[in-house]
Amino acid sequence: MTRKFTYAKAGVDRELRTDSKKALRILKRTYRFSRHGEVVELPYGNIFPCGGNRYLDLAIEGVGTKVLVAQLAGKYDTIGIDGVAMAVNDVMRSGARPLAISDNIHAQISEPALVEEWMKGIARGAAEAECIVPSGEIGDVSELIRGLSEGKGFDMVVSAIGEVSRDKIISGKKVKPGDAIIGLRSSGLHSNGISLARKVLFKQWGGKYEPRDVPDGLEREIVLEVLEPTRIYVKPLLKAAEELEVKAAVHITGDAYLKFDRLARFSKGIGFEFDNFKPQPIFILLQETARQLGGRITDEEMFRTFNMGWGFAAIVDRKVADEALDVLERAGVKSEQIGRVTSAEGVRILHNRMKIVLK
């Protein structure tokens, strides 16, 4: 029997995570403490008023097991970019402009040279997002954190806060069949699905390659390909939102294209169809390597786990799709129409002459 490589077998059980998130409903009890009015629920998080028709969006994100890839490479000056990207890309889904970020790093040992490398990445990410870093925290917790190399273990979490005026909120409530889905090009794996990727690609975790190998189809060492930082989309997305109506914005991270189904709770009677994918070589290598190891990663699993070449998406009226593409290209990100909103519920992927229905 062919061995299936899945995210669940790599240690990330989606069904369990979904079930556990039901506990988040308890936190709604705190909404009554909002000082300036009601908390506004959005498809991908909530925003709260801060007075004067202004709202704040607060997000917190980590980089997961990508920290292990940084340790494998012995390269720590870009992982902070990932931390910033994951947080600020989440904040701007509501239309909010990131104002500030803060980091929280749990370290095996806060060795000065290592801390400096972490800070270089955080500073570069903040510069790209054009926001400040007024605070942060590094805690030495050697009893909790162990690295691949002694003294190198760490976990990184970054929070971001952004501001949006009431008339600029991207609510996801006006999405309708026929709307265009515009994809913004990713830089590769970003910071999701890394647990699965590691266990297929690296001998360290049971995969095929040594970190410094350059497999066919790649132009650099595989560890550097996997470590490529997550792209930050703040400038292009906010520029598009200034010049035309963006109905919904989706950061394609955990759960990948399954994330779009959340919009159906805010705009009833819609579904999503995608038919334009140009996955970078790393995604193709993942499936091919799984086959060489006597297993496989199904296409469905790939689209449930990875961004497959598009790290962010904006949904706009089809009449302004070309204008949106022009604005995004001028703002410095490659973009294409990757799909459309339909009246058939669910998420459908048309790829390699096959139709995949994500569940």
For 55, phi and psi rounded to 5 degrees? Answer: -130, 150
- Per-residue model confidence (pLDDT) at position 23: 85
Same domain for 311 and 188:
yes
Same domain for 50 and 98:
yes
Query: pLDDT-based confidence at 111, cuts 50/70/90?
Result: very high
Show the tokens assigned to 295. 């297993």
Element (H, E) at 357: strand 354-358
Residue 11 has pLDDT above 90, yes or no: no
Task: Report the alpha-carbon distance of residue 222 to residue 191 in Å, rounded.
Answer: 15
Query: pLDDT-based confidence at 147, cuts 50/70/90?
Result: confident
Query: pLDDT-based confidence at 254, cuts 50/70/90?
Result: confident
- Per-residue model confidence (pLDDT) at position 7: 74
Q: What pTM does this model have?
A: 0.94
Same domain for 160 and 71:
yes
For 5, phi and psi rounded to 5 degrees? Answer: -90, 125
Please identify which residue in the block is written with the tokens 């400096």.
116
Q: Which tens digit of pLDDT belongs to each residue from 213-246?
A: 999 999 999 999 999 999 999 999 999 999 999 9
CA 344 to chain centre: 26
Same domain for 348 and 325:
yes
Same domain for 188 and 158:
no
Q: What is the mean pLDDT of the chain?
A: 95
Task: Report the alpha-carbon distance of residue 263 to residue 271 in Å, rounded.
Answer: 9
CATH number at residue 188: 3.90.650.10
CA 117 to chain centre: 23
Q: Which tens digit of pLDDT belongs to each residue from 182-203?
A: 999 999 999 999 999 999 999 9
Whether 20 maps to a domain, the answer reads no
Same domain for 160 and 52:
yes
- Per-residue model confidence (pLDDT) at position 24: 82
Query: pLDDT-based confidence at 2, cuts 50/70/90?
Result: low
Check residue 35 and report its DSSP letter: S
Beta bridge partners of 50: none
- Per-residue model confidence (pLDDT) at position 228: 98
CB atoms inside a 10 Å sphere around CB 296: 15
Whether 192 maps to a domain, the answer reads yes
Same domain for 332 and 237:
yes
For 52, phi and psi rounded to 5 degrees? Answer: 65, 35
Q: What percent of the chain has pLDDT over 90?
A: 88
Whether 285 maps to a domain, the answer reads yes
For range 332-343, the mean pLDDT: 97
Same domain for 195 and 83:
no
CB 50 within 8 A of CB 36: yes
Residue 5 has pLDDT above 80, yes or no: no
Please identify which residue in the block is written with the tokens 């990100």.
333
> Of 122, 137, 168, which one is at a domain's C-terminal end?
168
Whether 13 maps to a domain, the answer reads no
Question: How far is the CA of 347 from the CAs of 179, 189, 258, in angstroms?
Answer: 15, 21, 7
Same domain for 200 and 55:
no
Whether 26 maps to a domain, the answer reads no
Query: pLDDT-based confidence at 27, cuts 50/70/90?
Result: confident
Task: Report the alpha-carbon distance of residue 5 to residue 12 in Å, rounded.
Answer: 12
Which residues form the domain of 115?
Answer: 44-168
Angle formed at CA 253 by CA 47 and CA 148, multiple of 5 degrees = 115
Look at the chain and report how many structural domains it folds into: 2
Q: Which tens digit of pLDDT belongs to each residue from 55-99?
A: 999 999 999 999 999 999 999 999 999 999 999 999 999 999 999
CATH number at residue 143: 3.30.1330.10
For range 316-341, the mean pLDDT: 98
Same domain for 125 and 185:
no
Same domain for 184 and 158:
no
Same domain for 163 and 250:
no
Residue 1 has pLDDT above 70, yes or no: no
CB 126 within 8 A of CB 132: yes
- Per-residue model confidence (pLDDT) at position 19: 83
CB 180 within 8 A of CB 321: yes
Whether 174 maps to a domain, the answer reads no
